[in-house]
Amino acid sequence: MPSRGLDLPSGGPPQIAWESLDPVLLHAITWFASVGPHKWHGKLWTPSLPLPTPLLDFHSRPLSGLQNVPSATSGTNKQTDKQQAPTKTTYISSTNGMGVIKIIDFFPLFFFSVPFTCSVLCAMSAVYAASLLLFLTAFFLRPRISLSATNLRAGYYSETCPSAERLVREAIRAAMSREPRSGASVMRLQFHDCFVNGCDGSVLLDDTPTMVGEKLALSNINSLRSFEVIDEAKAAVEKECPGVVSCADIVVIAARDAVALSGGPEWEVRLGREDSLIASQEASDEIMPSPRANATALISLFARFNLTVVDLVALSGSHSIGEGRCFSIVFRLYNQSGTGRPDPAMDPDYREKLDALCPLGGDGNVTGGLDATPTVFDNQYFKDLVQLRGFLNADQTLFSGGETATKEVVERFSRDQGAFFAAFVEGMINMGELQTQQRGEIRRNCRVVNDRRPTAVFSEF
């Protein structure tokens, strides 16, 4: 199954997100690489490699990760399960508490044999020695991170935080009792998180002076909401199990709970994700679809993530609950495809209702139900599409957009709620498997990355 882990191209060295490394470590690596090839203990490293692979063997489980996760900066990821067998293990500890790194047999000799150390240093030039020491110092004092593959599974927190799922559900139930719409808003967060570089909680990050996050992306600004509900769930979990449950996992749990508490299906969620260290407005703008998207474009988008037409239609059924803004439909009412006329694929009576709700030049933030039962998770959404009463263009196009494949699935789900529920659960699980290959952490606050000031503690066995 797809899993988070270090991206290991076949036959090649680890691929590191250099932009997220600590500046001192990056400087040390650059300086050390500049002195030329080195040969230690029978192993050769050349500066052309991204990391001195003979020095480090990153301990990871077998990787079988996602082969095609689009992003703004990278193409297809490939992995291999190849591992080495180092003789010693060193744990690096810091304030964000993550990661295990194995050091090959060179290091026990280097650190624990004084004569060998002296002979090596004496043999080196002054530049070699200074470069090596700077690299090692920067490496061991860097914040501890996880580079291990994470296998998602049900019951992931059964031992480390057995109350996690219960606490999240209680927080979602409380939020929905205050505002029923918050359930749909929370459920949307998983879609907007997972499609942008995997399910890593990046959509939750606030902007910083050096990073414009995903909250200001075109599909999210003035649209995504209920971030405070995730904050409440996270606070409840942190109080009982500090530093254990990721924000990314809380989003996935909360989405499931929002559906179930609205009358929809229950399912077992697969957990074990980590939280990203960065977010990207650019990546979100590149990937997330517009409310104006047509069926053909949506099929192509989902195919990029190995999601099927059935996944597309079933996950669009998340609009069985919630509301949409007038801003998203005024073009359908008054200027569909630049014609100056309303969308012909709209029931006339329904159009009159929407005209009254969303007059031309009116408040674009006024909202209307996405289907006729916006607080109940059911198959009414599909019945509405068949009757040409879809709220969003991206919804109605599934039935009226000329794609036979999506139309047939819409018709089937409109007749069979059980089939819709089963396909929706499968689609949510499949979407939840989309994983980034970047390093991560367990955030203490879902809106900001952890303080990365390091401390170093070593234990060797």
Distance, CA of 424 to CA of 398 (rounded, Å): 16
- Dist. CA 334–CA 340, nearest whole Å: 6
In angstroms, the CA 423 to CA 315 distance is 8
Report the residue count for the chain: 461
CB 398 within 8 A of CB 295: yes
**Which residues fall in the annotated binding site?**
193, 196, 198, 200, 202, 214, 289, 319, 371, 373, 378
Q: What is the CA radius of gyration of the chain?
A: 26
Question: How big is the CA angle at 365 (ends 359 and 370), to the nearest 5 degrees?
Answer: 85
Q: What is the pLDDT along the chain (461 residues), one digit of tens a residue?
A: 444 333 434 444 444 444 444 444 444 444 444 444 433 333 333 333 344 433 333 333 333 333 344 444 343 343 333 343 333 333 333 333 333 333 333 334 334 444 444 444 444 444 455 444 444 444 443 333 232 335 899 999 999 999 999 999 999 999 999 999 999 999 999 999 999 989 999 999 999 999 999 998 888 887 788 999 999 999 999 999 999 999 999 999 999 999 999 999 999 999 999 999 999 888 898 888 888 889 999 999 999 999 999 999 999 999 999 999 999 999 999 998 888 999 999 999 999 999 999 999 999 999 999 999 999 999 999 999 999 999 999 999 999 999 999 999 999 999 999 999 999 999 999 999 998 777 799 999 999 999 866 544 443 43
pTM: 0.67
CA–CA separation, 43 and 114 (whole Å): 21
Which residues does 101 contact at the CB level (< 8 Å), separation at least 6? 56, 58, 59, 90, 91, 92, 147
Residue matched to tokens 């799922």: 165
Contacts of 45 (CB under 8 A, 6+ apart): 37, 38, 39, 52, 53, 54, 55
Q: Collapsing DSSP states into helix, strand and coil, what is residue 56?
A: strand
Q: Is 192 a catalytic residue?
A: yes
Q: To which H or E segment does residue 325 belong? A: strand 323-325
Looking up tokens 């209920």 gives 226
Instruction: Report the pLDDT value the prediction gives residue 67, as an integer from 0 to 100.
Output: 36
Set 38, 41, 59, 192: catalytic member: 192
The Cα–Cα gap between 261 and 172 comes to 9
Cβ atoms of 371 and 391 closer than 8 Å: yes
Instruction: Enumerate the known binding-site residues for substrate.
Output: 289
- Decide: helix, strand or coil at residue 275: strand
Burial class (CB in 10 A: 0-12, 13-18, 19+), 386: middle
Residues 6+ apart with CB under 8 A from 190: 199, 251, 252, 254, 255, 428, 431, 432
